[in-house]
Amino acid sequence: GQNIDQPTEMTATEGAIVQINCTYQTSGFNGLFWYQQHAGEAPTFLSYNVLDGLEEKGRFSSFLSRSKGYSYLLLKELQMKDSASYLCAVRDPGSARQLTFGSGTQLTVLP
Amino acid sequence: GAVVSQHPSWVICKSGTSVKIECRSLDFQATTMFWYRQFPKQSLMLMATSNEGSKATYEQGVEKDKFLINHASLTLSTLTVTSAHPEDSSFYICSARSRLAVFNEQFFGPGTRLTVL
Protein backbone atom coordinates (compact mmCIF):
# COMPACT_ATOMS: atom_id res chain seq x y z
CA GLY A 1 0.00 0.00 0.00
CA GLN A 2 0.87 3.65 -0.16
CA ASN A 3 1.09 5.86 2.92
CA ILE A 4 2.44 9.40 2.83
CA ASP A 5 2.27 11.63 5.90
CA GLN A 6 2.71 15.39 6.21
CA PRO A 7 1.67 17.86 8.89
CA THR A 8 -1.70 19.40 8.09
CA GLU A 9 -0.84 23.00 8.87
CA MET A 10 2.19 25.15 9.67
CA THR A 11 2.59 28.83 10.41
CA ALA A 12 5.75 30.91 10.09
CA THR A 13 6.81 34.53 9.98
CA GLU A 14 7.92 36.50 6.95
CA GLY A 15 11.71 36.28 6.54
CA ALA A 16 12.00 33.12 8.62
CA ILE A 17 12.92 29.54 7.67
CA VAL A 18 10.43 26.68 7.72
CA GLN A 19 10.89 22.93 7.26
CA ILE A 20 8.01 20.78 6.05
CA ASN A 21 8.48 17.07 6.71
CA CYS A 22 7.16 14.12 4.75
CA THR A 23 7.40 10.45 5.65
CA TYR A 24 6.40 7.69 3.30
CA GLN A 25 5.81 3.97 3.22
CA THR A 26 5.21 2.83 -0.33
CA SER A 27 5.38 -0.44 -2.21
CA GLY A 28 7.81 1.08 -4.72
CA PHE A 29 9.92 4.19 -5.10
CA ASN A 30 11.09 6.10 -8.15
CA GLY A 31 11.64 9.51 -6.72
CA LEU A 32 9.94 12.06 -4.51
CA PHE A 33 8.47 15.35 -5.68
CA TRP A 34 7.42 18.50 -3.91
CA TYR A 35 4.71 20.66 -5.43
CA GLN A 36 3.29 24.03 -4.39
CA GLN A 37 -0.43 24.64 -4.78
CA HIS A 38 -2.22 27.93 -4.22
CA ALA A 39 -5.93 27.72 -3.45
CA GLY A 40 -7.99 26.94 -6.55
CA GLU A 41 -4.95 26.53 -8.76
CA ALA A 42 -2.96 23.64 -10.17
CA PRO A 43 0.14 22.34 -8.40
CA THR A 44 3.46 23.66 -9.64
CA PHE A 45 6.69 21.66 -9.53
CA LEU A 46 9.22 22.65 -6.87
CA SER A 47 11.76 19.86 -6.52
CA TYR A 48 12.68 16.27 -7.21
CA ASN A 49 14.86 13.85 -5.21
CA VAL A 50 15.69 10.30 -6.19
CA LEU A 51 19.05 9.88 -4.42
CA ASP A 52 19.80 10.58 -0.77
CA GLY A 53 20.90 14.07 0.06
CA LEU A 54 20.03 17.69 -0.31
CA GLU A 55 18.96 19.44 -3.50
CA GLU A 56 19.13 23.23 -3.36
CA LYS A 57 17.25 25.53 -5.68
CA GLY A 58 17.25 29.18 -4.69
CA ARG A 59 15.18 29.73 -1.54
CA PHE A 60 13.91 26.15 -1.67
CA SER A 61 15.82 22.99 -0.73
CA SER A 62 14.65 19.41 -0.51
CA PHE A 63 16.23 16.50 1.35
CA LEU A 64 15.73 12.77 0.97
CA SER A 65 16.68 9.74 3.06
CA ARG A 66 15.47 6.60 1.33
CA SER A 67 16.46 4.29 4.18
CA LYS A 68 14.30 6.30 6.57
CA GLY A 69 11.46 6.95 4.12
CA TYR A 70 11.82 10.64 4.92
CA SER A 71 11.99 13.91 3.06
CA TYR A 72 11.73 17.56 3.94
CA LEU A 73 11.22 20.80 2.06
CA LEU A 74 13.09 23.79 3.43
CA LEU A 75 11.91 27.28 2.61
CA LYS A 76 14.21 30.18 3.44
CA GLU A 77 13.57 33.92 3.60
CA LEU A 78 9.85 33.36 3.66
CA GLN A 79 7.65 35.71 1.71
CA MET A 80 3.92 36.31 1.99
CA LYS A 81 3.44 34.74 -1.44
CA ASP A 82 4.81 31.46 -0.06
CA SER A 83 1.51 30.95 1.77
CA ALA A 84 0.16 27.87 -0.01
CA SER A 85 -0.30 24.14 0.29
CA TYR A 86 2.84 22.04 -0.17
CA LEU A 87 2.35 18.55 -1.52
CA CYS A 88 4.76 15.67 -1.14
CA ALA A 89 4.39 12.98 -3.82
CA VAL A 90 6.11 9.64 -4.38
CA ARG A 91 6.50 8.28 -7.88
CA ASP A 92 5.75 4.65 -8.63
CA PRO A 93 8.47 2.74 -10.51
CA GLY A 94 5.93 1.13 -12.82
CA SER A 95 5.62 1.98 -16.49
CA ALA A 96 2.99 4.64 -15.86
CA ARG A 97 5.17 6.41 -13.28
CA GLN A 98 2.14 7.41 -11.26
CA LEU A 99 2.33 9.87 -8.41
CA THR A 100 0.81 9.27 -4.99
CA PHE A 101 0.27 12.49 -3.09
CA GLY A 102 0.34 13.20 0.60
CA SER A 103 -2.51 15.19 2.08
CA GLY A 104 -0.58 18.44 1.79
CA THR A 105 0.70 20.95 4.34
CA GLN A 106 -1.04 24.31 4.43
CA LEU A 107 1.62 26.94 5.17
CA THR A 108 0.57 30.37 6.38
CA VAL A 109 3.19 33.11 6.35
CA LEU A 110 2.45 35.94 8.78
CA PRO A 111 3.81 39.49 8.49
CA GLY B 1 7.47 25.24 -22.26
CA ALA B 2 5.47 22.32 -20.84
CA VAL B 3 2.11 24.06 -20.63
CA VAL B 4 -1.06 22.11 -19.97
CA SER B 5 -4.48 23.68 -20.47
CA GLN B 6 -7.91 22.59 -19.32
CA HIS B 7 -11.30 23.63 -20.57
CA PRO B 8 -13.61 24.72 -19.12
CA SER B 9 -12.08 26.28 -16.02
CA TRP B 10 -15.41 25.99 -14.25
CA VAL B 11 -18.81 24.50 -15.04
CA ILE B 12 -22.17 24.35 -13.31
CA CYS B 13 -24.62 21.70 -14.43
CA LYS B 14 -27.86 20.11 -13.39
CA SER B 15 -27.98 16.69 -11.78
CA GLY B 16 -28.27 13.92 -14.36
CA THR B 17 -26.48 15.73 -17.16
CA SER B 18 -23.04 14.92 -18.59
CA VAL B 19 -20.03 17.20 -18.57
CA LYS B 20 -16.90 16.95 -20.73
CA ILE B 21 -13.56 18.34 -19.60
CA GLU B 22 -10.66 18.73 -22.03
CA CYS B 23 -6.99 18.53 -21.18
CA ARG B 24 -4.39 19.62 -23.72
CA SER B 25 -0.61 19.66 -23.72
CA LEU B 26 0.15 22.82 -25.67
CA ASP B 27 3.81 22.56 -26.51
CA PHE B 28 4.78 18.94 -26.03
CA GLN B 29 3.54 15.47 -26.78
CA ALA B 30 2.17 13.58 -23.82
CA THR B 31 1.94 9.84 -24.20
CA THR B 32 0.52 9.63 -20.69
CA MET B 33 -2.00 11.88 -19.04
CA PHE B 34 -3.44 11.59 -15.56
CA TRP B 35 -6.79 12.68 -14.13
CA TYR B 36 -7.09 13.69 -10.49
CA ARG B 37 -9.95 14.79 -8.27
CA GLN B 38 -9.47 17.11 -5.33
CA PHE B 39 -12.08 17.84 -2.67
CA PRO B 40 -11.80 21.00 -0.54
CA LYS B 41 -8.77 21.01 1.75
CA GLN B 42 -7.78 17.54 0.63
CA SER B 43 -4.98 16.31 -1.56
CA LEU B 44 -5.09 15.10 -5.13
CA MET B 45 -6.55 11.65 -5.62
CA LEU B 46 -5.60 9.85 -8.82
CA MET B 47 -8.66 8.74 -10.74
CA ALA B 48 -7.14 7.23 -13.85
CA THR B 49 -4.10 7.01 -16.07
CA SER B 50 -4.67 7.64 -19.74
CA ASN B 51 -2.37 6.41 -22.48
CA GLU B 52 -2.68 7.64 -26.04
CA GLY B 53 -4.52 5.16 -28.23
CA SER B 54 -5.43 2.72 -25.48
CA LYS B 55 -7.97 2.32 -22.72
CA ALA B 56 -7.49 4.22 -19.51
CA THR B 57 -6.46 2.47 -16.32
CA TYR B 58 -8.78 3.38 -13.46
CA GLU B 59 -7.91 3.45 -9.78
CA GLN B 60 -9.80 1.28 -7.36
CA GLY B 61 -13.18 2.74 -6.51
CA VAL B 62 -13.45 4.92 -9.61
CA GLU B 63 -16.32 3.90 -11.88
CA LYS B 64 -15.10 3.67 -15.46
CA ASP B 65 -18.64 3.85 -16.85
CA LYS B 66 -19.27 7.08 -14.99
CA PHE B 67 -15.97 8.78 -15.71
CA LEU B 68 -15.26 8.21 -19.39
CA ILE B 69 -11.73 8.99 -20.51
CA ASN B 70 -10.60 9.34 -24.09
CA HIS B 71 -7.00 9.97 -25.12
CA ALA B 72 -7.30 10.20 -28.88
CA SER B 73 -4.10 12.09 -29.62
CA LEU B 74 -0.74 12.89 -28.08
CA THR B 75 -1.97 16.33 -27.03
CA LEU B 76 -5.56 15.78 -25.96
CA SER B 77 -7.36 13.77 -23.30
CA THR B 78 -10.99 14.21 -22.29
CA LEU B 79 -12.87 13.28 -19.14
CA THR B 80 -16.64 12.99 -19.36
CA VAL B 81 -18.60 12.85 -16.13
CA THR B 82 -21.80 11.05 -17.08
CA SER B 83 -25.08 11.47 -15.21
CA ALA B 84 -23.46 13.87 -12.79
CA HIS B 85 -24.71 14.08 -9.21
CA PRO B 86 -24.00 16.65 -6.49
CA GLU B 87 -21.42 14.35 -4.90
CA ASP B 88 -19.40 14.61 -8.12
CA SER B 89 -18.85 18.31 -7.42
CA SER B 90 -15.12 18.70 -7.10
CA PHE B 91 -11.96 20.20 -8.57
CA TYR B 92 -10.76 18.04 -11.46
CA ILE B 93 -7.11 18.38 -12.46
CA CYS B 94 -5.27 16.74 -15.31
CA SER B 95 -1.56 16.35 -15.75
CA ALA B 96 0.66 15.28 -18.60
CA ARG B 97 3.98 13.55 -18.48
CA SER B 98 6.69 14.70 -20.83
CA ARG B 99 9.56 12.44 -21.73
CA LEU B 100 11.60 15.53 -22.46
CA ALA B 101 11.22 16.97 -18.97
CA VAL B 102 14.40 16.92 -16.94
CA PHE B 103 12.93 14.68 -14.27
CA ASN B 104 10.21 13.17 -16.43
CA GLU B 105 7.85 15.04 -14.13
CA GLN B 106 4.15 15.69 -14.57
CA PHE B 107 2.87 19.11 -15.56
CA PHE B 108 -0.52 20.06 -14.26
CA GLY B 109 -3.38 21.86 -15.90
CA PRO B 110 -5.13 24.75 -14.12
CA GLY B 111 -8.05 22.55 -13.05
CA THR B 112 -11.79 22.53 -13.68
CA ARG B 113 -14.21 23.36 -10.89
CA LEU B 114 -17.37 21.27 -11.37
CA THR B 115 -20.52 22.13 -9.44
CA VAL B 116 -23.53 19.85 -9.84
CA LEU B 117 -26.83 21.31 -8.67
For A3-49, the pLDDT digits (tens) are 899 999 999 999 999 999 999 998 889 899 999 999 888 889 999 99
Q: What is the mean pLDDT of each run of 10 residues along chain B (117 residues)?
A: 89 96 91 90 89 87 93 90 96 87 82 95
> B28, B98 in Cβ contact below 8 A?
yes
Residue in B45, B105, B107, B115 to test binding to A, most A beta-carbons within 10 Å: B105
Which residue of A lies nearest to B44 if distances are taken between CA atoms?
A: A101
Query: Could you give the 3-state DSSP secondary structure of residue A43?
Result: coil
- What was the pLDDT predicted at A82? 97
Which residue of B lies nearest to A84 if distances are taken between CA atoms?
A: B41
Quick check: A41 and B42 CB within 8 A?
Answer: no
In chain B, which ranges are E strands?
4-7, 10-13, 19-25, 32-38, 45-51, 57-58, 67-73, 76-81, 90-97, 106-108, 112-116
Quick check: B93 and A42 CB within 8 A?
Answer: yes
